[in-house]
Structure 1
Amino acid sequence: MKIHSVKFNVLMNMIVTTSSLIFPLITVPYVSRVLSTGGTGHVAFAQSVSSYFSLVALLGVTYYGVRACASVRDDGTELSRTVKELLVILGCSTTVVSIVYVACLFTVPKMNAQFELFLLFGLSIWLASFGVEWFYQALEQYEYITVRSICFKILALVLMFAFVRERGDYVTYGLIVVVAGYGSNVLNLLRLRKFIDLHDGAKLDVKRHFKPMLWFVIASISSGMYIQVDIVMLGFLGTTNMVGLYQLVSKIKSVLVTAVNSVGNVMLPRLSYYQAQNKERRAGELIAKNMNFVMVFGSAIIVLLILLADPIVALLGGSDFADSEVPLRCVGVAVMFSAMNIVLANHMISKGKERSWATVNAIGLVLAVVANCVLIPRFGVVGSAISISLCEALMFAMRSYVCREFLSGIRGLIDPIRIFCSAGFSGIATYIVLALCGCSAWNAFLWLVCGGILFSIIYGTSLLVCREQFVTGVIRPILNKIQDTKEQA
């Protein structure tokens, strides 16, 4: 099988990321205005609760499967055996979880009140378990992942405009969300036979995975629950309208985290491969580049959300979502630290530090639950935003402590001071110019575009003047090619 370069994989993932940025710009404004806070709140709550059950059913295979398959991807027989063993484990776990989920539909009042919607999202538990996305990531099949992802986004877009027309259509919208998010997993499973011999008759040893999977199970479940805990707890402690307001913030945050982590998403299989080949130096350089990328774009997002929350909410949500502006300003910190946490998690997984990774994730989940219990009753939607940003920062501090020796070794390759100073200066300068121009009286789109362009110009110039490593590393090859072209001419 052909394994593409990291640059090609990053390009493919950037295309997926770009589509993940473009499609919400079309769908979120439409859905928010049609379903308002009530309908979107119902769907967001059902999706978050079902994702908790899905996390348990997956048993950490999302991460463990990538590492296990990447380490044996050059051995077809062992790769086939590993995949089949993991599918057997997933079949057993998903069956048990589905039984519990159905029981909760009849016994938990808030789930029973939206029985049809929760039943639809129950399908996602099976689709997620047998999507084998971890297999395609392990083999770095990002070209296929990219094409498939865009096709299903387009399908979901067509279905949404065709069938979501009024506020009572939120169940239909829920079905479209399931199709968009998990429908392509059916193709994944059907395509598996192209790479795996499902009928080779090899003896399976499912038990050999139990011990190495243990910490992946704890880490994956606690991490996944942590990501959704703000919406789930807001659903139980608050109202449907509060969930509706916050789901807009959460969607924007998720899209931005995906964008910032577009490089990191392709790193785990390559890091696992480097570690298996004892290529420590190359792994360190890869992570350092990723961290600089995350800090450059994460810092920009923090500043832009603070400066432009008003026009963003006005464009994506409309007047019904005006109360989402303050919490949106608060989640910028969570975007950057969430992406940084993923970078360090990839390092910990590739180095076999599952126990430390799991411990930090479990502590983070406890902190998130406590923070939400304290802040939601007092501050409502804003409390959820503050708690997620605070907890992401604390988790980054804990992961940095665990990885302190590694971070010390690559300290010369990362450049936080220049990045943060440039972002702060650019934010202040942009705010002053926009204030002097009376931007608050502008059209929301004009305000957003002008503010974004102005900040980008000032920020990019500041990073170049400061000679920040990531930006100069991107610009230098371009300048060299231009120079070579001139000399050849």
Structure 2
Amino acid sequence: MTKKSLKLNALLNGIKQACTILFPLITFPYISRALGNAGYGQYSWSRTIANYFVLIAGLGVSTYAIREGAKIRDKKEQVTQFCSEVFSINVVSTLLSFLAMIVLFIVSTKVRSYSLFVLIQSSAMFLATIGTDWVNNIYEDFLYITIRYILVQLVCLILMFVFVRSSKDVAIYCLLATLASYGGNLLNIFYVRKYVKFKFTFHMNIKEHLLPLLILFINSVAITIYVNSDITMLGFYASDKIVGIYSFASNIYNLIKMLINAIIVVAIPRVAYILVKDKNQYSKILSDTFVMLTTILLPIAIGMAMLSKEIIVIAGGQQYLSGESVLQVLSIATIFAIYGSFYSNCVLIVHNEEKKCLIATLISAGSNIGLNFILLPIFGMLGAAITTIFAEFVNCLMQLYFSRKYYSLKNVSKKDMLSVIISSVVVLIICYICKNIFLILFERVIFTILFSVLGYAVMLYITQNSIMKSFVESLMKRIKHE
């Protein structure tokens, strides 16, 4: 198999991850006027409920399949059998999830009142199962994933402007938002056959797969709880309008987090593959990934905090400005979330330490829910943001502690880390100066971003950051060849 560029994969997956949340974010100014605050709140709350059933249906299959499949992807018969078994288990879990959703409709009046919206958005679990997008991830086919995803997003975007026109169209928006994220999986039914021709089988080898799947599943449940419990619980304490405002700020936070997390997503199959083939390269790949993450993470977190007001006003309008403090708090949570994801996915999971990930996540989820009960009635949506940052911090700290056996930060270049910190301070200063010089909103945002990027890049080069040096050298070589 041809070795694919990790940097290119990170870029492609970053674009794909951006589209995952850019669709609702870009369309929000229109949707907020068409559906109204309450309508968007209905969509957001029903989405969190649907996400729990999508999670149950997923059963941790994607993470498990990518990790284990990447190890044997060069062995055709073995990987075909593996994919057939995992796919079959996924089909069963999806059917069980659907039955559980029906039971919830019966016992809960609150959820039943949102049943149409929940049903539409929970169709994602069927699309995810038959799509088996984890096969494309196993073989690092991020070019196809990205192109397919963008095309589907564009089609759904056009349809949204055509069919979503009033507060009566919440159901239509739920459908289009779901198709924008999962509709492309229908194409996978045929496309993934170029890699593996798997099929449903009753011989699922449950004894081998079930335990690690359950551990990853419970871990995902815990993650979802401490990520989504704020919106879920806020729906019981506040109005649809407040839920809509908080969801909007939270969406911006999730966009940034997913963009940066793209580096981790594309690194997982490569790290798992190298761990089997060449363990000596494992530490180097992790160190390079950590430096790359930090180089991107710190300036973005600073920019998000400093420009929180401007971002919200541009994306949603003055009516959502009360979510400014929420976004500022969540910008700090981004740092802990990304580092926690790095240790969890690139260190613990590739070493089959799902149990330790689970312990960390369960404790984080429990603390998040407990704090939500205390802070939501007092601080409302700001309290929800505070519980998120605390949960991310606890999770990150525990993942770091559990990972010490397999990886140490001692292997990370101190020179590169110092370079990033110094350059990030420069970004902070530039943001502060620009916010006080430029009075017009769009000018302030444009010039703040422009000067911050330039200042950051120059400072990285001056401080001899290895990533920046590599980029400049590569660029100079291309210029000379041309």
The corresponding residue for 1:455 is 452
Q: Look up the SS of the partner of 2:140 in the other structure.
A: coil
Q: Look up the SS of the partner of 1:73 in the other structure.
A: coil
The corresponding residue for 1:419 is 420
The corresponding residue for 2:310 is 311
Structure 2 distance, partners of 1:37, 1:149, is: 28
> Structure 1 residues 384, 415: closer, same or farther in 2, change over 3 A?
farther
The corresponding residue for 2:81 is 81
Contact persistence 1:54–1:129 (CA under 8 A): no
Q: Compute the displacement of 1:21 (Å).
A: 7.4
The corresponding residue for 2:247 is 247
Contact persistence 1:274–1:283 (CA under 8 A): yes
Contact persistence 2:226–2:364 (CA under 8 A): yes
> Structure 1 residues 214, 103: closer, same or farther in 2, change over 3 A?
closer
Q: What CA deviation, in whole Å up to 9, does each residue of 1:227-263 have, x standing for no partner?
A: 2222222222322112100111111111111211222
Structure 2 distance, partners of 1:32, 1:449, is: 24
Structure 2 distance, partners of 1:470, 1:390, is: 31
The corresponding residue for 1:51 is 51
Specify the code of the residue in structure 2 equivalent to 1:154: L
| 1:323 matches 2:322 | yes
Specify the code of the residue in structure 2 equivalent to 1:401: Y
Q: What CA deviation, in whole Å up to 9, does each residue of 1:9-63 have, x standing for no partner?
A: 2342244246557645531222223223211111111111111122122211121
> Structure 1 residues 462, 6: closer, same or farther in 2, change over 3 A?
closer
Specify the code of the residue in structure 2 equivalent to 1:217: F
Structure 2 distance, partners of 1:275, 1:282, is: 8
> Structure 1 residues 432, 9: closer, same or farther in 2, change over 3 A?
closer
- Percent identity, aligned pairs only, is 25
Q: What CA deviation, in whole Å up to 9, does each residue of 1:169-190 have, x standing for no partner?
A: 2111111111111112222233
Q: Compute the displacement of 1:201 (Å).
A: 8.7
Structure 2 distance, partners of 1:200, 1:422, is: 53
Q: What CA deviation, in whole Å up to 9, does each residue of 1:45-85 have, x standing for no partner?
A: 11111111221222111211111211111111111111111
Specify the code of the residue in structure 1 equivalent to 2:465: E
* Larger displacement relative to structure 2 (450-459 or 420-429): 420-429
| 1:261 matches 2:261 | yes
Structure 2 distance, partners of 1:129, 1:236, is: 31
Q: Look up the SS of the partner of 1:331 in the other structure.
A: helix
> Structure 1 residues 433, 116: closer, same or farther in 2, change over 3 A?
closer
> Structure 1 residues 125, 458: closer, same or farther in 2, change over 3 A?
same
Specify the code of the residue in structure 2 equivalent to 1:477: S
> Structure 1 residues 57, 409: closer, same or farther in 2, change over 3 A?
same
TM-score by length of 1: 0.91
Contact persistence 1:69–1:79 (CA under 8 A): yes
Specify the code of the residue in structure 2 equivalent to 1:412: S
* Larger displacement relative to structure 2 (143-152 or 337-346): 337-346
Q: What CA deviation, in whole Å up to 9, does each residue of 1:282-304 have, x standing for no partner?
A: 22222222222222222112221
Q: Compute the displacement of 1:124 (Å).
A: 1.9
Structure 2 distance, partners of 1:199, 1:95, is: 17
* Larger displacement relative to structure 2 (162-171 or 119-128): 119-128
Specify the code of the residue in structure 1 equivalent to 2:229: V
The corresponding residue for 2:229 is 229
Contact persistence 2:305–2:328 (CA under 8 A): yes
Specify the code of the residue in structure 1 equivalent to 2:272: S
Which blocks of at least 5 consecutive residues in structure 1 are unaligned? none
The corresponding residue for 1:369 is 369
Structure 1 distance, partners of 2:176, 2:336, is: 31
Q: Look up the SS of the partner of 1:372 in the other structure.
A: helix
The corresponding residue for 2:280 is 281
Structure 2 distance, partners of 1:238, 1:107, is: 22
The corresponding residue for 1:144 is 144
Contact persistence 1:37–1:320 (CA under 8 A): no
> Structure 1 residues 77, 129: closer, same or farther in 2, change over 3 A?
same
* Larger displacement relative to structure 2 (5-14 or 451-460): 5-14
| 1:407 matches 2:404 | no
The corresponding residue for 2:433 is 432
Specify the code of the residue in structure 2 equivalent to 1:459: Y
Q: Compute the displacement of 1:145 (Å).
A: 0.7
Q: Look up the SS of the partner of 1:146 in the other structure.
A: helix
Contact persistence 1:59–1:221 (CA under 8 A): no
> Structure 1 residues 192, 464: closer, same or farther in 2, change over 3 A?
closer
Q: Compute the displacement of 1:115 (Å).
A: 2.2
Q: What CA deviation, in whole Å up to 9, does each residue of 1:364-413 have, x standing for no partner?
A: 11122122222221111111112212221221111111122412442336
The corresponding residue for 1:190 is 190
Structure 2 distance, partners of 1:481, 1:185, is: 37
| 1:119 matches 2:131 | no
Specify the code of the residue in structure 2 equivalent to 1:151: L
The corresponding residue for 1:469 is 466
Structure 2 distance, partners of 1:114, 1:328, is: 27
> Structure 1 residues 358, 176: closer, same or farther in 2, change over 3 A?
same
Count of residue pairs brought into register by the alignment: 480
Structure 2 distance, partners of 1:146, 1:433, is: 35
Q: Compute the displacement of 1:345 (Å).
A: 1.5
Q: How does 1:389-408 map to 2 (within 5 A)?
A: 389-405=389-405, 406-408=407-409
Q: Look up the SS of the partner of 2:370 in the other structure.
A: helix
Q: How does 1:156-171 map to 2 (within 5 A)?
A: 156-171=156-171
Structure 1 distance, partners of 2:85, 2:261, is: 30
Q: Look up the SS of the partner of 2:212 in the other structure.
A: helix
| 1:13 matches 2:13 | yes
The corresponding residue for 1:38 is 38
TM-score by length of 2: 0.92
Q: Look up the SS of the partner of 2:408 in the other structure.
A: helix
Specify the code of the residue in structure 1 equivalent to 2:341: I
Structure 2 distance, partners of 1:92, 1:465, is: 56
> Structure 1 residues 448, 21: closer, same or farther in 2, change over 3 A?
farther
The corresponding residue for 2:336 is 337
Contact persistence 2:20–2:181 (CA under 8 A): no
Structure 1 distance, partners of 2:158, 2:20, is: 16
> Structure 1 residues 233, 472: closer, same or farther in 2, change over 3 A?
farther
Q: Compute the displacement of 1:101 (Å).
A: 0.4
Q: Look up the SS of the partner of 1:196 in the other structure.
A: coil
Cα RMSD (Å)? 2.4
Contact persistence 2:303–2:431 (CA under 8 A): no
